[in-house]
Amino acid sequence: MREMAFLGFALVLLGFWAMLTRKNILRIIIGFTIIDSGIHLIIVNLGYLPGRTAPILEKGMRVGDLSKHFVDPIPSALVLTAIVIGLAVTALMLVYAVRIYERKRTLNIDKYRELKW
Amino acid sequence: MNSLVPLFVIIPLGSAFLMAIFGRIIKGFNKVLLPLALLFLTYLSIKFLLGAEGTITYQVGGFAPVAGVPIAIYLAVDGLSRLMLTIISLIGFLACFYSISYINIYTAERKYLILFSLMIAGMNGIVISGDIFNIFVFLEIASIASYALVAFGIDRQELEASFKYQVLGGVASLLILFSIGFLYWRTGTLNIADISTQLPYGGIFVKFIAMVFLVGFGLKAAIFPFHSWLPDAHSSAPSPISAMLSGVLIKAVGLYVIFRLFFNMFALSHQIAMIITVLGTLSMVIGGLLAIGQWDIKRLLAYSSISQVGYIILGVGIGMLILSRQGNTAVASLAIIGGIFHLLNHSVFKSLLFLSAGAVEFRTGERNMKKLGGLAEVLPVTSSTSMIASLSISGLPPFNGFFSKLLIIIAAVQAGYYLLALLAVIISIVTIGYFMKMQKFTFFNRSRVFWQDRNIREVPFVMCFSMIILALLCFALSLLMIPSLRDVVLTPAVNVLVEGLKYTNAVLGY
């Protein structure tokens, strides 16, 4: 699973590169979601322990042994919450991108000159 | 009193839902419900501020700790949280009351009040939460509500400002989430008090996490290298929202969390304290210098926010520097009192300034100082309250701003940071300069009497009421210099920071 963490880091860096160099609003938003996914991958990976299963309680399991068989469920719970939040933020950004396009008829941030100071 | 703690989140969140359901059916429901709810919160927070002692904890769901390991989500209300709760509820109530009239220039009144209510819920949640992931969730609630509110006018400038704010705020949130993940990996817990016992002292890893946190919350608080979104966002928002953003949001979302984490969770380190102090000084100087050249009233006020937040960080940062090298605790607590006092004062006079700028815009539809002038005769209440706030923020006695700046400067001199004290004095003079420019060109410039051919009256009573209360507070908060009053309001908040890692014992009850 270590590869997944490196993949996550790579996605974070790729996303930052996209956000910093692209001029198109939609590409900036895509860069943002790539960073978001990268961070989710990293956090899920932090809770993974090799050779263990999903934390679902079944019949016949003794409570004392649980901590030896299960992966850590908390990072997955955190990521679920973070995915929902990321959805809300991305949706709001996209709505505003549409509105900006309606007003300015361009998506290129170099052409927005009203708030330079 | 413990069982009252969740009300600070439940009431604003609940009123947002009630407004969404009943606001469409019952006429005038929204305009009555939200001010009443916020008035009740103000009462409750002042009751907490004056009545409660020590740290009040509340375990959500009632799960008791197992073998000393906290399981439930903790809500912890200590001196600093009580002060912040009072600021949020009081300014929130006044801004909301002001909005009742102001919102008439927009159409979607119900959505505005719902978002306002959610923003209050998010900020209250951040301040009472003792769990770092919950801080993140509440921070996102407050931020998303504020992204939507900044662009409430849906005009070209507002959309552009809000998009910039969303991108930078979103990156800040992601950095915070990233470091929370690593903190959990290293310590196996999310409770701030528990993390501080598990976290190893020093080490490159802890420093890395601390720096990522500082960048994330620095973006939210608009400290110097991360300040570029603030002038756009705060000047484009509707005026009561600008008052909330500048007066409360950057403090609850940015500064409060920085102080909480760096004093109570991480062990104090000299390098981090130095970085925080230097960034604070830079934002003080650069924000002040950039404000001079502005001609848009609200943009000038927004740049001035950057500068005044710099003062707050300077005060607390000096305290942090002294504490980190085991210096004189009395001087350290003097510096931190100055910082926290300035935080309280800034939330009062900066929201007053934005509200009076809003009153000018409400009656004239103009924010450019070059086109305004001579308004003092037709807007007497707005003009005088704005004058009081300007004198107060520039640090003239007997207003509250003078005393907090004085405390910060005295502490800087006593600690031996003469350069910082000198810079604080110089920027204070610069502040007087740009506020007198604003007063002259907006209210007194008789050579260009703006209102002659138009019918301009004083703003409605509702708006005047909020401004007058805040102006009275500018006088009244000077009384906090009296030691017996200071011990009730400011000292508990400062002790939480000075005692540092004792926070853990107070929350977990070891």
Question: Residues B349, B301, B92, B258: what is their CA dihedral angle, to the nearest 10 degrees?
Answer: -90
pLDDT in tens, chain A (117 residues): 678 889 999 999 999 999 999 889 999 999 999 999 999 999 988 878 777 777 777 777 776 666 677 888 888 889 999 999 999 999 999 999 999 898 888 888 888 777 665
Task: Report whether the peptide linkage leading into residue B398 is cis, meaning its omega lies within 30 degrees of zero.
Answer: yes
Pairing of strands B73-77, B56-60: antiparallel
pLDDT of B462 over the 70 cut: yes
Contact B79, B52 (CB under 8 A): no
For residue B8, name the pLDDT band (cuts at 50, 70, 90).
very high
pLDDT of B406 over the 90 cut: yes
* B238-280 pLDDT, tens digit each: 999 999 999 999 999 999 999 999 998 888 888 999 999 999 9
For residue B505, name the pLDDT band (cuts at 50, 70, 90).
confident
pLDDT of B452 over the 70 cut: no
Q: In the structure encoding, which two tokens stand for residue B89, read together?
A: 């509820």
* pTM across the whole model: 0.93
Q: In the structure encoding, which two tokens stand for residue B485, read together?
A: 């009053």
Going by C-alpha positions, the residue among B184, B187, B260 that lies closest to residue B221 is: B260
**CA B237, CA A65: separation in Å to the nearest integer?**
56
Going by C-alpha positions, the residue among B154, B166, B165 that lies closest to residue A103 is: B154
Contact B39, B64 (CB under 8 A): no
* B330-345 pLDDT, tens digit each: 999 999 999 999 999 9
Instruction: Judge whether B180 is closer than 8 Å to chain A, CB to CB.
Output: yes
Q: How far is A75 from chain B (nearest CA, A)?
A: 8
**CA A101, CA A89: separation in Å to the nearest integer?**
18
Q: Which of B137, B160, B294 is facing A100, going by the closest CB pair?
A: B160
Q: In the structure encoding, which two tokens stand for residue B98, read together?
A: 């002001």
Question: Coil, helix or strand for B474?
Answer: helix
Contact B299, B231 (CB under 8 A): yes
Going by C-alpha positions, the residue among B45, B142, B25, B58 that lies closest to residue B87 is: B45
DSSP H or E stretch at residue A105:
none
**Residue ranges of domains in chain A, CATH in brackets:** 2-50+71-111 (1.10.287.3510)
The range of the structural domain enclosing residue B230 comes to: 2-508
Q: In the structure encoding, which two tokens stand for residue B329, read together?
A: 């605790």
Residue reference for tokens 């890893």: B205
* pLDDT at residue B338, as a whole number: 93
Residue type, A19: M
Task: Taking residues B349-378, report their average pLDDT.
Answer: 87
| 3-state DSSP of B321-374 | HHHHCCCCHHHHHHHHHHHHHHHHHHHHHHHHHHHHHHHHHHHHCCCECCCCCC
* pLDDT at residue A116, as a whole number: 60
Residue type, B304: S
* B36-95 pLDDT, tens digit each: 999 999 999 999 988 877 888 888 887 877 777 788 888 999 889 999 999 999 999 999
Residue type, B272: I
Task: Taking residues B373-388, report their average pLDDT.
Answer: 87
Contact B184, A75 (CB under 8 A): yes
* pLDDT at residue B355, as a whole number: 93
Instruction: Judge whether B156 is closer than 8 Å to chain A, CB to CB.
Output: yes
DSSP codes of every residue in B182-209? HHHHHHS--BHHHHHHHSPSS-HHHHHH
Beta carbons within 10 angstroms of residue B347's beta carbon: 27
Q: Which residue of B111, B133, B135, B160 is the best one to mutate when testing the A interface, meaning the one whose CB has the most A CBs within 10 A?
A: B160
For residue B287, name the pLDDT band (cuts at 50, 70, 90).
very high
Going by C-alpha positions, the residue among B344, B226, B223 that lies closest to residue B279 is: B223
For residue B379, name the pLDDT band (cuts at 50, 70, 90).
confident
Q: How far is B156 from chain A (nearest CA, A)?
A: 6
Going by C-alpha positions, the residue among B162, B289, B161, B325 that lies closest to residue A115 is: B161
| 3-state DSSP of B395-427 | CCCCCHHHHHHHHHHHHHHHCCCHHHHHHHHHH
Report the number of distinct structural domains present in chain B. 1
CB contact under 8 Å between B181 and A89, yes or no, is: no
CB contact under 8 Å between B171 and A92, yes or no, is: no
* pLDDT at residue B500, as a whole number: 79
User: Chain A residues with CB inside 8 Å of B140's CB?
Assistant: 85, 88-89
**CA A34, CA B363: separation in Å to the nearest integer?**
46
